[in-house]
Amino acid sequence: MAFCLPKFAAESLRQGLVSGRIKPEELSELSSQERREVFSSLVGEQNAKKVNASFEAKLLLKNQQQAMINWAKDMLGLKPEVRRDTIAKVEKMSEILQPDEINSFLEDLAEKKLGFHVTLEETGKLLDLARKAEALKPQAEAVVNRPGWDKKTETLAERTARMEYGISFVLFRDLVSALKPESKSVTVKEFLTEPKKYVERVGALTKSIVASIDNSLFGTQGIATLLNPKTTHIWVKRFLNSFSNIKKSLSGIDPLLPGKAEIFSRRYALDGTYTREQIALGLKREEAYPTSAPERIPVLGALFRASSDAYHLGSLQLRADLADLLTDAAKKNGSDITDKVTAESIGHLVNSTIGRGSLGVLEPAASKINVFMFSAKLLKGTFDTLTAHLLDPKVPFRADPAKPYRLSNVSFAQKQAAKNILSIVGTVHGVLLISEMLNPGSVEFDPRSTHWGQIKIGDTYINIVGPFRPLVRTIASAFPALHDGRLGFWRKESSGKWRDLSDGKFGQATVLDIIETFLEGKASPLLSVLMNHWRGKDFMGDKPTLWRDVQRLTTPISVQGYLQGKEDQEMETLIMTTFLNALGVNTYHQK
């Protein structure tokens, strides 16, 4: 409660302050007893107690204010405008806060920084990890900035210095990710009040199970790096390394932490290049594995975790390796990699090549789309790569928008996109040509053919172009072309007969049927089961049943292929197709 000093005491205190006889900054260093003695000489012993109590309250408030200001400044990455606003609010404090009020303030401050609510204890852990990473960062920067440094020649001490920082940084990022609301399990209350969350979790769970227990990254998302001769070495290195990652995971050793630590301690991670390029390296999970829930399944959970770890780490390493390659090339080309447009176009090129195409305005709904489509981002990335990003607004055609459309003014990313697709096309047709020479009739060169992009071995067709095959065949059939002098929408069936999809014959497939079949093939396991019931039959023509639904929702694709193949394939062929399917290389058996 406020009190009033007698007039004589107030005047005596004022003169003492004006004359310098008492100095507030010195009083703050004295004990409570010593301050009372100083005040007593000016206002008397009775008034001195009240004056001292008021001073100590102000001192405590000042200490609180300074502590909170320091906290705000210490919140790494807090936006300047948020920091200024927070400090201004603290400086306006006129009363001492109680402990629960202080905790509430600090938790709110942390929420502004992170974008979601965390407790004071959780915030403290985050700050500890962040401080440790910041303290270790200079030693990692010293390593990568050493003249002549590269990963192949760095010493053990240099690699250790990098990894110490990388591990601290990854632990910090992983804790932030784990604390986010979307990482929490769905409660009974949420299930009853928001059933859509349950549908999303079921869709994510079934998709993760069906995509698991294989090493399919390199035959799907990573196939473009294999088909491009300039990046084949990256694919080979990471493909061989993936088996080591699987072995580590099955042995109970986490391959993700050291793998991600190595990535985030590279030169382009430390100097912010990866961030400017927006390389998809901060993902908690890849599109094919939207949830880790199956890891809790006894015995099989270990197999799921191993395949998930290999897929996730392989994707990150392929992107980082490709980003390093393209960024180095851009620098040699004279491109300014610090320019926002240039950097982001390189990053978009990298992400699309490794199966993370941008969904544009639908990006905020990507996680929900992923429940109904098997790999929407992979499809978009494949389309962008196939079209050399000519229809992609994220990869500008001109290096300088102020200059005209000329070959000399084509952007680095656009040139690289064109080189990529030309290299891929050349490689694919080279392989098909060699196969045809060795085994006449084993391939089809026309993309309108049923077996284009496949190599026939016996009665088995092996897809060598991954996700490019269905997209190329659909696009090729959707545009009019000449065949035997006639213009139409032509398609060559497996029998070798050509059909015009626009001839209007009863029961004949149309272009719309082809597009519909393509889109249905991109459905997630959950949506695929629903469509079977809507249609009244599955893709094999069988009537859907509860048992078949359960099998399709809980059986990995590689296992499904084995179960289907053992009925009509010889053992040697079955072993080959099962192995290839497990690597993401689709096979088709036809007698």
Q: What is the 3-state secondary structure (H, E, C) of 138-192?
A: HHHHHHHCCCCCCCCCCCHHHHHHHHHHHHHHHHHHHHHHHHCHHHCCCCHHHHH
User: Domain ends where: 75, 91, 114?
Assistant: 114
Residue type, position 316, single letter: L
- Asked if residue 269 is part of any domain, the answer here is yes
Judge whether 205 lies within some domain. Answer: yes
407 and 428 part of one domain: no
499 falls within a domain = no
Same domain, 297 and 172: no
Q: Does residue 365 lie within any of the structural domains?
A: yes
The last residue of a domain, from among 404, 420, 436:
420
The CA distance from 105 to 69, in Å, is 12
Looking at the fold, whether 401 and 472 belong to one and the same domain comes out as no
Together in a domain, 415 and 433: no
- Gap between the Cα atoms of 13 and 15, Å rounded: 6
Q: Is residue 511 part of a domain?
A: no
The count of structural domains within the chain is: 4
Q: What is the domain extent for residue 307? A: 194-420
Same domain, 568 and 447: yes
Residues 404, 543: one domain?
A: no
Between CA 146 and CA 149, with CA 148 as vertex, the angle to 5 degrees is: 60
Buried/exposed 133-144: b ≥16 CB within 10 Å, e otherwise: beebbeebbebb
- The span from the CA of 377 to the CA of 117, in Å, is 30
Are 263 and 381 part of one and the same domain? yes
pLDDT of residue 221: 92
Distances (CA, A) of 556 to 211, 331, 551, 561, 563: 6, 43, 9, 9, 11
- On whether both 288 and 411 belong to a single domain, the answer is yes
Dist CA 588 CA 461 (whole Å): 5
Q: Is position 189 within any domain?
A: no
Q: Are 376 and 227 part of one and the same domain?
A: yes
Q: Assess whether 129 and 88 both reside in one domain.
A: no
The answer to whether residues 296 and 384 belong to one domain is yes
The residue assigned the tokens 């227990």 is: 213
User: Is 486 within a domain?
Assistant: no
123 and 54 inside one domain: no
506 domain residue, yes or no: no
Say what the pTM is: 0.79
Last residue of a domain, one of 92, 114, 136: 114
User: Strands 587-589 and 460-463: what pairing?
Assistant: antiparallel
Contacts of 391 (CB under 8 A, 6+ apart): 384
In tens digits, the chain (591 residues) has pLDDT values of 455 667 777 777 777 766 777 776 676 667 777 877 887 887 787 777 777 777 666 666 566 556 656 656 655 555 666 556 655 555 555 555 455 555 555 555 555 555 656 666 666 677 788 888 889 999 999 999 999 888 888 999 999 999 999 999 998 888 877 776 555 555 555 555 566 666 777 777 888 888 888 899 999 999 999 999 999 999 999 999 999 999 999 999 999 999 999 999 999 999 999 999 999 998 777 767 777 778 888 888 889 999 999 999 999 999 999 999 999 999 999 999 999 999 999 999 999 999 888 888 777 777 777 777 778 889 999 999 999 999 888 898 888 787 878 877 889 999 999 999 999 999 999 999 999 999 999 999 999 998 999 999 988 999 999 999 999 999 998 988 888 888 888 888 877 888 888 877 776 788 898 888 888 888 888 888 888 888 888 777 778 888 888 888 888 888 888 887 787 788 888 888 889 988 989 888 776
Contact 290, 311 (CB under 8 A): no
What would the two tokens of residue 544 be? 């859907």
